Amino acid sequence: MEKFQVIAHPLIQHKLSILRRTDTPTKAFRELVDEIAMLMGYEVLRDLPLEDVEIETPITKTVQKQIAGKKLAIVPILRAGIGMVDGLLSLVPAAKVGHIGMYRDEETLQPVEYLVKLPEDIDQRQIFVVDPMLATGGSAILAIDSLKKRGATNIKFVCLVAAPEGVKALQAAHPDVDIFTAALDEKLNEKGYIVPGLGDAGDRLFGTK
């Protein structure tokens, strides 16, 4: 499996174009984030281990496959990551959900952590950190630092829009973490926003601006 993957399915690209548009209202924005996260889940969860299970069809007994009950955790980076949780949970409803609260200081662009609430056995779980935006990479790096400090070893990062600067920084800080994105954009602007991007994901998701 590749360490960095752009999941460019036509449905995802189509929905992402609508998501980016300035005139897409909050309700549609929320629905699109949810749908794209779910569609990405198909690829992101490709490595889930299977085990044999004996079942009976109307015709015969047979040994088939089922998902081995490996423990998963979805960890959104607040706020915007929350929008991606339900889409993934619809595919793996038994996954636990942890939360890491983080905001970027608007002057320094440095992330500030304000909440960490994780499943107790986080060190034993396959973790999917979700956040729509990977800009400078600061938030993702600090969130993953925080998880590793608590014993997490098996971590994947899932975003919708990534800047090359953020991908590079995250790969350098956490080379063991697979990165999945729906799009790799051009660059960051002088305010640390992704270009062309979609603006402030948290504000658009929650209608706060």
Among 26, 62, 108, 153, the active-site one is 108
Helix (H, G, I), strand (E, B) or coil at 157: strand
Residue pair 85/76 in contact (Cβ under 8 Å)? The answer is yes
Least Å distance between CB 68 and ligand PRP? 32
Least Å distance between CB 202 and ligand URA? 6
- Rg for the chain (alpha carbons), in Å? 18
User: Cα separation of 160 and 78, whole Å?
Assistant: 15
Among residues 70, 48, 45, 77, the alpha carbon closest in space to that of 144 is found at: 77
| Contacts to ligand PRP by CB under 6 A | 77-80, 102-104, 109, 111, 131-140, 166, 192, 200-202
DSSP element (H, E) containing 127: strand 126-130
Query: Could you confirm whether 104 is annotated as catalytic?
Result: yes
Nearest to ligand PRP of 52, 107 (CB atom):
107
Nearest to ligand URA of 98, 202 (CB atom):
202
Residue pair 192/109 in contact (Cβ under 8 Å)? The answer is yes
Backbone angles phi, psi at 124, to 5 degrees: -105, 5
Of these partners, ligand URA, ligand PRP, none, which one is at the site of residue 194 (CB under 5 to 8 Å by kind)?
ligand URA
Least Å distance between CB 27 and ligand PRP? 18
Least Å distance between CB 13 and ligand URA? 18
Among residues 137, 146, 139, 79, the alpha carbon closest in space to that of 104 is found at: 139
Of these partners, ligand PRP, ligand URA, none, which one is at the site of residue 83 (CB under 5 to 8 Å by kind)?
none
Query: Could you confirm whether 150 is annotated as catalytic?
Result: no
Residue 197's region, left for phi above 0, alpha for psi from -120 to 50, else beta, is left
Among 20, 104, 125, 204, the active-site one is 104
* Percent helix / strand / coil, the chain, rounded to 5: 35, 30, 35
105-134 residues in contact with ligand URA (CB under 6 A) are 133
Of these partners, ligand URA, ligand PRP, none, which one is at the site of residue 134 (CB under 5 to 8 Å by kind)?
ligand PRP
Residue of the chain from 88, 135, 142, 205 that contacts ligand URA (CB under 6 A): 135
Query: Could you confirm whether 22 is annotated as catalytic?
Result: no
Query: Could you confirm whether 108 is annotated as catalytic?
Result: yes
- Give the residue numbers annotated as catalytic, written as ranges: 104, 108, 200, 203
Annotated binding site for 5-phospho-alpha-D-ribose 1-diphosphate: 79, 104, 131-139, 200
